[in-house]
Amino acid sequence: MGTYHYRILLLVLLCFTGIHGYAQTWNWVSHNNPDNSDFINIVADQNGYTYTSMVDKAGFVLTKYKPNGVKIWSKRNPGALVLKLSIDATGHLYTVGTDSFSPFNSSLVTAKLDSAGNRLWTKGNPVPPLPNDLPSGYVYTGATDAAGNTYMSGEFRNLTQFDTIALSNLAPINYFLAKYNSAGKIQWLRFFNDPVYSIACGSQGSYFIECGTHFQKYAANGTLIWQQNFSGTFDPSIFLIYSNKFIADAQDNLYVLGSQLAKYNSNGTLAWIKANQTPPGGTFKGKDFALNSSGNLLVTGSFSGTVSLGNGVPNLIGDTTGSPLFVAGFSGATSNALWAKQNSTSDYCTGEAIVSLPNGSCVIAGNFKANSAFDQLSLTGKGVFTAKLSAGVLGVHEGGTKTNLQVYPNPATSEVTLTGHLKPGTLEVYSLTGQKVYETSLTPEMKLKVADWPAGMYLVKITSEGKTQIQKLLVTR
């Protein structure tokens, strides 16, 4: 068949196979808590089990979900103020915060829990009340690396000992960053001239912080590798109200979500930056983000009005009476928008936390204040929700009938997996110009190496038992 005729065939297939690009679907939604809450976090293990944490008017709540959204357990620690939840590569959980709502008589606490929510160890540093009623200590935030090393930042006054480290000749207010290993043993305690409001764990023990008006990268031994002054570019963090969010990838590139969305290369140079607020036609505010296995960013938050993200992504359309949540994918390489998904609400619904799952799906947690719809799923009342969004794959065969074929992650940068009860047959991949770029025999679960493929759209065609299935695949750089 000539190239011209094959291009015509591809156009026909695109028109009549019922493929709808990257059709993300809400898989499930759960009503976690009847009260709106603060300090919402979400993490996931390598098997797709998710954990959410929040602080309501009674204290700290930790909940575990199966991959299908079924709640396994929920545990409460009355009065505790846990600010950050993290997870290591073995599925152990770590928290940082205080053991009391009161800042005048509490402890600066980090703890390790098993996958059943049981505490394995707790490290507390009591901060005594002050006679003039000034707060005596705070925890700001924390982060945990894959090996279970936990970083905790905050401030304190009038301490003579921090864990096993004796203190002397300190300032009236001391801004600190502490590191604990996975066994709960303190590794070091370092002091800074300004509060450390954001932390990310890098490779080989390196770490990134927001300190004052600078983003900084440090080596494991505490040597400053680089710093960038963000004054005038990012809004400064406001303690307990808003802080810039950090993610570091395996190459030590730093991604920042705040009043802007930005990427810094491993040497500290700015790779790209884009606005995260008030585009023409509406308001758009990302609250949290995650990095998926393709190196792309998933951002969640809320918006109003009509918001255009560009790059051919359909507009976000707000309700006339409400402010819905959104989830959007952005290329980690270029910052271009890849897709967007929203819900609908009669009042207010926002994503506060997001985690990417190994299969390319993501789970979002947040607050809602009135009835909200997630495609065919719905929430009533108000409170905290958790919802799962599919990886954006939709398998079809000729005639538009859905099949079990899944291609993920999609978009992809290096490798994709094909699943869906694949039977003996052939796999072909074509560019949109009609050129066959790959062909092989089917196996039950296949992986395609796409790192060397030019960026662009491809058609993945599977032929088995006389039936054809076709899936779009976007390769990005």
Contact 429, 473 (CB under 8 A): yes
The domain locations on the chain are 26-389, 406-475
Does the pLDDT value for residue 452 go beyond 70? yes
Q: Which residues contact 279 (CB under 8 A, 6 or more apart)?
A: 307, 308
Locus of tokens 């509060």: 195
Helix (H) or strand (E) holding 14: helix 3-16
Alpha carbons 351 and 240: distance in angstroms, whole number: 18
Considering only residues 244 and 408, tell me which one the structure prediction assigns the higher pLDDT.
244
Range of weakest confidence among 105-114, 199-208, 348-357: 105-114
pLDDT at 142: 97
Does the pLDDT value for residue 319 go beyond 90? no
pLDDT at 404: 57
User: What percent of the chain has pLDDT above 90?
Assistant: 50
Q: Which of 9-23, 280-294, 328-342, 429-443 has the largest mean confidence?
A: 328-342
Does the pLDDT value for residue 393 go beyond 80? no
Q: Which residues contact 81 (CB under 8 A, 6 or more apart)?
A: 39, 55, 59, 60, 97, 98, 99, 100, 101, 106
Alpha carbons 338 and 362: distance in angstroms, whole number: 15
Q: Which of 471, 469, 358 is nearest to 409 (CA)?
A: 358
In CATH terms, the fold of domain 406-475 is Immunoglobulin-like (2.60.40)
Calculate mean pLDDT across residues 297-319.
Answer: 87
To the question of pTM greater than 0.85 for the whole model, the response is no
In CATH terms, the fold of domain 26-389 is Neuraminidase (2.120.10)
Does the pLDDT value for residue 18 go beyond 50? no
pLDDT at 402: 42
